[in-house]
Amino acid sequence: MSQLKPMIIVILMLTSALTGCTSTGNENIVQIEINSPLEGDWIEGQVQISITTKMTVSEGIEIWINDNYYSTEELGIVTDFDIDTSHFSDENGSPVDLNIELIYQNVSLTEVNVTALFPQQMTFWSSEDIQPEFNLDGELLFKSSKGLEPRMYEIYHLNPGVTTSTKISTEQEYHGYPGPSPSGTHVVFNSWVIDEAGNTQMEIFTANISTGETYRLTDNPSFDDSGRWSPDGSEIIFYSNRDGTMDLWKISVNESGYPLETAVKVLESDAREHCGRWSFDGHYIVYESDKTGINHLWMITSDGLNETQLTFDENQNGYPAWHPSGDYIVYNKQTSTSSNLHILSLLDGETKRLTMHQMGVDAHPTWSADGKYIAFHSDRAGNFDIWMMEIPLTI
């Protein structure tokens, strides 16, 4: 676990060379700080290097990255510049450590050490391809509107080593939030049905990925959504407003996803709870709640006790997913201008920013069982697709 080190502040006594004046003994004291990124940060894409300087004139400062000349930027009047980290990607898209150094007349002013990440686009259809979820074998399930009416989706299986995704057929037309069973043989999802009165209602289903045989787990007029299988395979958690407010519920199933008992409420709360996600060991459930008035991440033990708030900032935080160790949670933070992924450490409460795309919406992350990859959906390439990035094993 890397710690944010104190910002490097370099105070350099610059002689007359900087101002063009002859030296009178009143040397200019130039102070330069790199405000962002910070030492130890992860960065990706086009990254703005934000500088604070007390220079009063614009001067050419050389940018060196990993001891190679990168560019010369006019600093002083303009204090920020951009670097394109894609120049440093290897063919595998593995993380690369970057030392970014500012040099003036062969003198190092300041430097920062960061790790560049390289998200890889995994789907290229013009359809909406969203809501990826890893199975334990490092393959992804997601939903796609490919070839369908707007707001209709089918489930696809994506093996990152294979370029084409294969469709998983079920007995339902609409599919939401596909999630694999621990064995990988079945999928849980939510789907609309039409009741006897002609009203549509959202229900939880499971299906056999090979045969398409489908079971219905819920049957009521309320909204039942976003099911996830417990790691031991015995239960499926979902959220439902059947009892007034959105709450976390769970239902026992057999190994084929067939419901064994009626659903029970996991947590009693007047707030809006949803997106319950089991830790890999099954001992904890992370979820979203607007209990404080803002959508934040919360956690309980799997028995529904020990309710704990995890995020406290002014932004909407959602779509949590566990690291296999249970020590970290990746989630998306929605600000007024962006939606990017962040990692929360449950060890010390620190957060680390994972994606930095200014325009695109990055959301719905999922962590591979080996801890090495995070997949998410993003519209950064023009429409929503599945993206995947390798991350350092040391967070």
Cα end-to-end distance, the chain, whole Å: 5
Q: Is 129 in the site for Ca ion (CB under 5 A)?
A: yes
Choose which of 247, 284, 311, 365 interacts with Ca ion (CB under 5 A). Answer: 247
Please list every residue from 312 through 341 that binds Ca ion, using CB under 5 A.
none
Q: Which stretch binds Ca ion (CB under 5 A): 71-79, 82-90, 122-130, 363-371?
A: 122-130
- Taking the least distance from each CB to Ca ion, the nearer of 245 and 256 is 245
Q: Is 120 in the site for Ca ion (CB under 5 A)?
A: no
Choose which of 224, 235, 288, 362 interacts with Ca ion (CB under 5 A). Answer: 224
Choose which of 269, 315, 316, 345 interacts with Ca ion (CB under 5 A). Answer: 269
Structure tokens at 335: 């600000």
Choose which of 345, 383, 390, 392 interacts with Ca ion (CB under 5 A). Answer: 383
CA–CA gap between residue 78 and residue 21 (Å, rounded): 22
Q: Please, which residues have CB within 8 angstroms of residue 155's CB and are 6 or more apart in sequence?
A: 141, 142, 143, 167, 168, 170, 175, 178, 187, 189
Shortest spacing between CB 274 and Ca ion, in angstroms: 9
- Taking the least distance from each CB to Ca ion, the nearer of 338 and 383 is 383
Q: Is 203 in the site for Ca ion (CB under 5 A)?
A: yes
**Residue with structure tokens 């992804």?**
140
Q: Is 241 in the site for Ca ion (CB under 5 A)?
A: no
Q: Which stretch binds Ca ion (CB under 5 A): 108-116, 269-277, 279-287, 365-373?
A: 269-277
Q: Is 192 in the site for Ca ion (CB under 5 A)?
A: no
Q: Which stretch binds Ca ion (CB under 5 A): 78-86, 129-137, 257-265, 344-352?
A: 129-137
Number of residues that bind Ca ion (CB under 5 A): 13
Q: Is 154 in the site for Ca ion (CB under 5 A)?
A: no
Q: Are 311 and 287 in contact (CB under 8 A)?
A: no
Residue 85 phi/psi, 5-degree rounding, is -70, -15
CA–CA gap between residue 29 and residue 60 (Å, rounded): 17
The DSSP 8-state label assigned to residue 53 in this structure reads E
- Taking the least distance from each CB to Ca ion, the nearer of 222 and 325 is 222
- Taking the least distance from each CB to Ca ion, the nearer of 49 and 266 is 266
Question: Minimal CA–CA distance to 121: which of 364, 383, 322?
Answer: 383
Q: What is the chain's percent helix, strand, coil content, to nearest 5?
A: 0, 50, 50
- Backbone angle region of 183, left / alpha / beta, with phi > 0 → left and psi within -120 to 50 → alpha: alpha
- Taking the least distance from each CB to Ca ion, the nearer of 182 and 276 is 276
CA–CA gap between residue 362 and residue 354 (Å, rounded): 10
CA–CA gap between residue 278 and residue 284 (Å, rounded): 6
- Interface residues toward Ca ion, by CB under 5 A: 125, 129, 201, 203, 220, 222, 224, 245, 247, 269, 273, 383, 385
